[in-house]
Amino acid sequence: MSPDTLVSFASAPSTEAPAFDYAGFDQDVMQTYGRFPLALERGLGCRVWDTEGRAYLDFVAGIATCTLGHSHPVIVAAVTDQIQRLQHVSNLYYIPLQGELAHWLVEHSCADSVFFCNSGAEANEGAIKLARKYGHTRLGIAADIDPVIITAQASFHGRTLATVTATGQPKYHKGFTPMVRGFHYVPYNDAAALEAAIAQLNANGPQVAAVMLEALQGEGGVNPGQVEYFRQVRELCDRHNLLLILDEVQVGLGRTGQLWGYENLGIEPDVFTLAKGLGGGIPIGALLCKSSCNLFEKGDHASTFGGNPFVCRVGVTVTKFMEQNDLLSNVRARGEQLRAGLNAIAAQYPDHLSGSRGWGLINGLILRDDELKAPIDIVKAAMDEGLLLVPAGARVVRYVPPLIVSAAEIDEALALTERALATVFGD
Ligand code: PLP
């Protein structure tokens, strides 16, 4: 196939394509996801199109992943150029683009070095390994004692065995026992509970190696961390020599209106992880740490695809674009606009909705505790109106549009939300 044919194939009108075979898909692909009956094949900016040619305003963005929206010209240009130069080489060799992305990340954060991988779960796996090594080597936890990582209830850290164990939601553990040893759960935003857990676990000598938290719990219901809580968490970690690991997979790289989620909390972690937004939709993950806990030595950790030239070119492109276009200002302004609009809408339905919460462009519309309708009902109605949203936890509808979203697109999403709610609540 010549390059010309490829281009015309990719942009062929979708109306000429055969109807999408949902049943065939369901037979061939493992049924691990609860999918909506919607097959997407094209995107541009904040909009995606299904196989029938219908457009949707995309406020899911691959779940907080497509930082620059879909098919952004700078990403198209970068990947097109990079694929023709070098797509993949092993980490047996130096990869200049990996160094360039790592340099940007350490220059712009509290971290001093970076390990690249492919996903959020993989980045968190690296953080868990680092914490265990820290526990054994720095805290003197004997080889036959399990170092413990304390995580929060309602957290989400991934689906590999260790990260799903770290995830403080029993529903994700069901059917997969035995879980990985060395995790303990405490309520989020409750410093007294954390202090008590550390005291209990360390009663017979040091056993706790780290505390691992999200700056804002995304999957758990768009639940922001409290400044005073994190001040105390930092203080407890310092007092007991524990690593403070922040999982910034969903909120890192600008989504909260700050480059890093921890900037909203007035503290610095020792270790943090990134994924989703860093590649703008191309798979990449990263584990970052301060030099004081950079304990990995040659041979300790590896990932075949981690930090390859192709993904790092995209990461460099996304980060540069954010910086050169002051995207953080847009995130803050559009976030305020969205929350104000959602609060006004919620005020129209006081019996059903209690308001909105979030930071920057990760926001939730909150259903009242006694509301009988579920977030999924609103998500489905919004989809019928042409707006893509995603539930978060049992009571929240999440709005995580691309960070390039415009004021007009926020207004459009609010108008579509109003129409959807009128259907759901029967006005
Ligand atoms: N950590 C957080 C906070 C997340 O929100 C997610 C995914 O939603 C993960 C980790 C897992 O990331 P991935 O699906 O890339 O493995």
Q: What percent of the chain has pLDDT over 70?
A: 96
**pLDDT confidence of residue 10:** 39
Q: Whose CA is nearest to atom 5 of ligand 1?
A: 250
User: What is the spatial distance between Cα 38 and Cα 3, in angstroms, rounded to a whole number?
Assistant: 29
**Mean pLDDT over the full length of the chain:** 95
Q: Measured in angstroms, how far is the CA atom of residue 5 from the centroid of ligand 1?
A: 37
pLDDT band at 427 (very low <50, low <70, confident <90, very high): low
All CATH 3.40.640.10 domain ranges in the chain, comma separated: 77-324
- Residue 217 CA: nearest ligand 1 atom is 3
At the topology level, CATH places domain 77-324 in: Aspartate Aminotransferase; domain 2 (3.40.640)
Mean of the pLDDT values across residues 127-147?
A: 97
Q: Measured in angstroms, how far is the CA atom of residue 329 from the centroid of ligand 1?
A: 25
Q: Which of 249, 251, 255, 278 to mutate to test the pocket of ligand 1 (most atoms within 8 A of CB)?
A: 249
- Residue 219 CA: nearest ligand 1 atom is 5
Q: Measured in angstroms, how far is the CA atom of residue 289 from the centroid of ligand 1?
A: 18
Summarised one tens digit per residue, pLDDT across range 71-89 is: 999 999 999 999 999 999 9
- Residue 275 CA: nearest ligand 1 atom is 15
pLDDT band at 426 (very low <50, low <70, confident <90, very high): confident
Summarised one tens digit per residue, pLDDT across range 118-132 is: 999 999 999 999 999
Q: Which of 276, 287, 305, 390 to mutate to test the pocket of ligand 1 (most atoms within 8 A of CB)?
A: 276
> Residues with catalytic annotation?
156, 247, 276
pLDDT band at 339 (very low <50, low <70, confident <90, very high): very high
Q: Which of 63, 117, 151, 156 to mutate to test the pocket of ligand 1 (most atoms within 8 A of CB)?
A: 156
Q: Measured in angstroms, how far is the CA atom of residue 158 from the centroid of ligand 1?
A: 5
Q: Measured in angstroms, how far is the CA atom of residue 249 from the centroid of ligand 1?
A: 6
- Residue 160 CA: nearest ligand 1 atom is 16
Contact residues of ligand 1, CB 6 A cut-off: 63, 119-121, 124, 156-158, 214, 218-219, 247, 249-250, 275
**pLDDT confidence of residue 17:** 61
Q: Measured in angstroms, how far is the CA atom of residue 287 from the centroid of ligand 1?
A: 13
Summarised one tens digit per residue, pLDDT across range 13-72 is: 445 667 999 999 999 999 999 999 999 999 999 999 999 999 999 999 999 999 999 999
**pLDDT confidence of residue 18:** 75
